[in-house]
Structure 1
Amino acid sequence: MSVALSPAVLHGEAAFQAARRAKWRVTILGLLILVAALVVAGWVSEVHPATLAAGLPRVGEYFARTVPDLRWATLFRDWETEGSLAAWFYRLDKWLWLLLETANMAALATLIGGVLALLLSFPAARNIAHSVPSYHLARRGLEAMRTVPEIVYALILVWAFGVGPLAGIIAIAAHTTGALGKLIAEAIENADMKPWDGVRAAGGTWVQAGRFAILPQVAPNILSYLLLRFEINVRGASVIGFVGAGGIGQELYLVISQNYYEEVSAIVILIILAVAMIDLLSEMLRRNLIGTEARA
C-alpha cells in the first residue's frame, strides 16, 4: 500500500536533492581546478614523466651501491676483515662522537630558541598583547625568523663565524624561535581568560598575569612543542652540517662527495637510530611530565 507524501515532505526532499547535486558540482569543480593547478605546477617546475622515468632507476642504482657486502662467515670478525659489521662501521668511534655533537647542537639550539620564543610569544598573542603595534611587531618578527630556512642562516653564519658548531647552533636557534613562538602564541590565544582577568582585577601586573594565569595553562603545550622541536632540530643539525656548520652532517657530506657508498649507508643508519632513540625518550618524558602535571 503506497503512502501519499505531504507537499512539505516532497518540497524538503527536492531541496535536499538539489543541495546534494550542487555539492557534487562544487566538489567536481574543485577537483578539476586542483588537477589543473597540479599540471601547471608540474609544467612550471619541469617535472616531466619522462624525466622521472629516466631518473628513478638511477636513484635505485645509487642506493644499491650503498648496501654493504656483508658475508655471514665473516659477519662478526674484526674491522680488517671484509664483509664484517666492524669493517662497515670502521669509523664508529668518530661517527658516534659527531652524533653526540649533533645532539648537543640540537639541544642547545632548542633551549635558546625555546626561551626566546616564550618571551616573544606573549606579546605575539592577540588576546593579551600590550598594543596593536607590539602585537604586529612580535608576530612579524617571528614570521621573519621562521621564514628563512636553517641552511640559509647556516651559510651566512659560517661565513661570519667560520666552520664549526657555533654557526649551526645559532642558525637552528633562530629558526626554532620563529617556529615555536607561533605555536606558543596560538596556545596562549586559546587559553581561558578568566584567570587573567582575575589577576589583573586584583592589581597584578601584565607580567604577573602572564606568569600565574596563562603560563600554567599552556605549560603542557610548551613542553610538547619543545620536545617535538628537539627531534626536528636533530635532523636539521644533520643537514646544515653540509655547509660546514658542524656535526655528523659535515661527515656525511664528505663521504657523499667522495663516493664512499658504504660509509654513506652506515652514517645514515646511525642518524636514523639516533633520531628513533631521541623520539622514544622524548615520548616517555612527555608522558611522564604531562601526566605528573595533570595529576597535580
Structure 2
Amino acid sequence: MTARLTSYAHDGLTFDVVDEGPLDGPVVVLLHGFPERATSWRGVTERLHRHGLRTLAVDQRGYSRGARPRRRRDYRLPLLVGDVVALLERVGAPVHLVGHDWGAAVGWLLAARRPDLLLSWTAVSVPHPRAFVHAALTSSQGRRSWYFGFFSLPRLPERAARPGGALERGLRRSGMTDADIERFRTEVVADGALPGALAWYRALWLATGPAGRARVRVPTTLVWSDGDVAVARRGAELSAAYVDAPFRLAVLEGVSHWIPTHAPEPLAEAILDHAGRRTGQEEQA
C-alpha cells in the first residue's frame, strides 16, 4: 500500500483513517477506546514516525461519521473485529496492532482469530477477555466495572453527558484532564458519536459463543498502569496464561487509565520494542 489511506469501506459503512508517517515504513494500526477517537494517538504516533513507522489510526464503528448504524446488534464484537480485519486486508501485509480500552478488546479477539494478519499485538490497559472475567470474579474488577451496566441503559447515559454532568464528572475522576474533556465534548458528544460509542456496551449483552476463549499466538505486550480506576492489576497479571507466544507485561507507575494521551512516551517505547525499531537514539524526522 503506497498511497495514503483516508478512508475505507466495509459492511456498507465508511471508516475514517488518519494515515501518517513514512509511506514505505512498517505499518502500525491503532485502535482507540471509549470515549475517544483517533486523535488520542497523536502523542504516540509522533515518536513512531521518527523511528520510520507508518501509522494508521482508525475511527471505529459508531465514531466515524459514515459508520454509525442505529441498531444495537450492529455493534456486536465480531462485527467490530471484522471492521479492523477489512482494514488489515486492505493494507495487504502483516501489521503491528495496538489497541486501548475497547480497542484492546477488539485487538485481543482479532489476534486470536487472525494471527496471520499481525506481526505483533500491543494491548493497552485491558487484559485478555478470559483474564478479565476471571479477575471480575476474584478481585476488585467486578466492582470497578459497575459502569458497564450504567452505559447499557437506554437514554440515561446520553442525558448524563451534558457539560459538567455525571458522565464528565466520572471521566474526570478516572484521570481525564480539561483538554481530554474538551476533546470528548467536541469529538464525541457534539459530533454525534456518543450513541454509537455507547452501543458497544449495549451490544455486549448480545454476545454468543466463546468469543474470548481463543488463545493468542502472536508476540504480545500488555501495557497496564497502576493508576487505572477501571482495570484491576489481577487481569493484567493473568493475561500471560492465554498467550502461546512471547508475552510481556509493562506496568506504568502513577499513570491513569488514559495511557495514550497521558504516557505516550513509554507506550511508544513498548510498541517500538515489538517493531524492532527502538535504537536508543531517535532517527531524524
TM range, normalised to the smaller chain? Answer: under 0.3
Question: Which one has a larger percent strand, Structure 1 or Structure 2?
Answer: 2
TM-score, normalization by structure 1 = 0.23
Question: Which one has a larger percent helix, Structure 1 or Structure 2?
Answer: 1
Larger-Rg structure: 1
TM-score, normalization by structure 2 = 0.23
